[in-house]
Structure 1
Amino acid sequence: MQNTKGLALEIRLSAYIDGEVNEAERKELDQLVARDDEARLVLEMLKAGNAFGNKGFEEFLHDPVPLSLVRQIKQGPGAAPKAERVANAAPRKTRTRLWPRALAASIVLLLVGGSTGFMIGKTSNDGAVPVNVAAARTWLDDIADYHRIYARQTAEHLVEVPAGNSKIESWLASNVGVNFTLPDLTGKGLTFEGARLLVAAGKPVAQLMYKNEDGDVFAICFLKSKPGASDGRMTESMRDDIAMISWQKDGASYVVVGPSADADLQQLADAVSATI
């Protein structure tokens, strides 16, 4: 138990919230909060800050694992020597905790609240439109949502047009505005199942569906992009259990979608980019 007598009220109440004061000091703080409006207000702010901090930490724990780390885990030891050096490093010495987590969380809450109040006040004074700080959805977010649904469908509902239809290329090209060659990925262990026509970010999108021997579903999606978009640089991203590798080429945007546990998605994207 901590002895917080003589310390700032915020620190004493933080230890009180965390149950880190002795019985005598707990009773003293109970009486203080009961009779003192200022102490009671500080206590409520600290409780709110504690809840805010716990919620933020919980959300952090649910963040998706980076695709590179997933690959290193699947490929086994020896594939990532840097990771091994970090794992073998000497652990840090444990330090005595001087600031309880409730106090730290309350500081974060006060900073967030203060900055929000400043933004609201500035907007009211200047008459400006409030800034939207939320990340805008992209076409890749829509594709991830589609893939999560369609990948669970049975064979007869997996695609809109089955693989045996000879008009798939002309049908998709005319609707999407992108000419392409249907990639043959049998060398990658994938069988073409058919195609769908989707809408993402308000634009028509072509979706080519493939399956491997384990029944995992992979997709190639593309749409027409701004003229001159042809950098070819590939970008990896993840949406929970879905991995995506996207790029732009010859005025079109492409993405290969598959399970996040697949270690060969980059090689698949390279093969698609070279043939489509």
Structure 2
Amino acid sequence: MSSSTPITEADLHAWADGQLAAERAREVEAYLAARPEELRRVEAWREQKAQLRALFDPVLDEPAPARLLRAARPRQAWWLQRLAAGLAIALLGGALGWGLRGQLAEQAPQLAQAGPAGDARLPDLAERAAIAHAVYSPDQRRPVEVDAAHEDQLVAWLSKRIGATMRPPHLQSLGYALEGGRLLPGASGPVAQFMYRDAAGAKLTLYVSRESGAAEPAGDTAFRFARRGELNVFYWVDGPFGYALSAGAERAELARVSAEVYKQLGQR
């Protein structure tokens, strides 16, 4: 790759992950040396990645609980193993994720709305979640139908309409306050959307559907990543439910929030 090739966002991510060839890495380093603000941004990615590894890598070394080995309660700690696998795929530079970054860098106009496998469009769950986020998150007057001050009413209403308990995860420890939620039409029935806001006013939405269980292989609850323009989506399927987190946040930040949502859902 010649020095005349522009430095892309994908190059910066690859450099932060230590994935570039030596020659291209030197070009990126020269580029960053002349741009202190960009360098600070990339170094922040590295620091965030190190923090995530420190937080979740120990899970990989934990022995299986004795109760699981006895198969007495096989679902009690199910989220630990799946969380480790999902984060390994989503955060630590698996081949699929890295291939997506390269495709986006080289073919952005064609793949701006592509899913992680390079589909012509996002998977249905991620597509609907992204559209719902784009439609409602900019609304300043009525972003939700029932606000967080009436959370009990929101839970009762959504649970009755969808036919299952729809209680929003609490994400204050991650810096996101619940704004409320709404009922949305899905492809064949109602779905729920919970909306959160951080201290800077950025919105994050959790989309919950009972329509997506048959869309993925049975027992496959791995995190998946998709992108629609500037919007990132992390989504997964667990039994009859499909979940999708959408935000304009960086991929690593959205993965961090997804892990906490996944954990809280598994404890209920």
Q: TM-score range by the shorter chain?
A: 0.5 to 0.7
Counterpart secondary structure, 2:19: helix
Answer whether contact 1:197 1:207 (CA < 8 A) is retained.
Answer: yes
Q: Please, which of 174, 179, 190 is the counterpart of residue 165 of structure 2? A: 179
- What letter corresponds to residue 81 of structure 1 in structure 2? G
Task: Output aligned runs, 1:90-109, within 5 Å.
Answer: none
1:223, 1:253 within 8 Å by CA — same for their partners in 2?
yes
Q: Which residue of 2 aligns with 1:232?
A: 221
Structure 2: gaps (5+ residues): 1-7, 28-118
CA 1:249 to 1:134, structure 2 compared with 1: closer, same or farther past 3 Å?
Answer: closer
2:13 alignment counterpart = 72
- Residue deviations 1:154-185, cap 9 Å, x none? 1x311111111122112112212332432110
Q: 1:196 to 1:87 in 2, by over 3 A?
A: same
Provide Cα deviations, 1:124-164, integer angstroms capped at 9, x if missing partner: xxxxxxxxx9758713222212211211111x311111111
8 Å CA contact 2:213, 2:239 repeated in 1: no
* CA RMSD in angstroms, aligned pairs only: 3.0
Query: Does the CA contact (< 8 Å) of 1:163 and 1:192 recur in 2?
Result: yes
Corresponding residue for residue 148 of structure 2: 163
Are the structure 2 counterparts of residues 183 and 86 from structure 1 closer, same or farther at C-alpha, using a change threshold of 3 Å? farther
Aligned to 1:197, which of 169, 183, 186?
A: 183
State whether structure 2 residue 135 is matched by structure 1 residue 149.
Answer: yes
Q: Tell me, in whole angstroms, the C-alpha distance in 2 between the residues paired with 1:182 and 1:71.
A: 35
Report if the CA contact (8 A) 2:192-2:209 is conserved.
yes
Judged with a 3 Å threshold, the aligned counterparts in structure 2 of structure 1 residues 71 and 169 are, in CA distance, closer, same or farther, namely farther
**Structure 1 residues 270 and 71, CA gap change in structure 2 (3 angstroms):** farther
Size of the alignment, in residue pairs?
A: 163
Structure 1 position 88, deviation (Å): 3.5
Which sections of structure 1, spanning at least 5 residues, go unmatched? 1-64, 91-132
Residues 149 and 82 (structure 1), Cα distance of their counterparts in 2 relative to 1, 3 Å cut = same
Structure 2 residue aligned with 1:81:
18
Paired-residue identity, %: 23
The structure with the largest alpha-carbon Rg is 1
TM-score between both structures, scaled by the size of structure 1: 0.52
Match of 1:14 in 2: none
User: Does the C-alpha gap of structure 1 residues 221 and 71 become closer, same or farther in structure 2, counting only changes over 3 Å?
Assistant: farther
- From the superposition, tell whether residues 232 and 139 of structure 1 become closer, same or farther in structure 2 (CA, over 3 Å): closer
Q: Structure 1 residues 145, 86: closer, same or farther in 2, change over 3 A? A: farther
Which portions of structure 1, spanning 4 or more consecutive aligned residues, are displaced by more than 4 angstroms? Answer: 133-137, 227-230
| SS of residue paired to 1:81 | coil
CA–CA distance in 2 between the matches of 1:85 and 1:172?
Answer: 54
Given the superposition, is the C-alpha separation of residues 208 and 89 from structure 1 closer, same or farther in structure 2, using an over 3 Å criterion? same
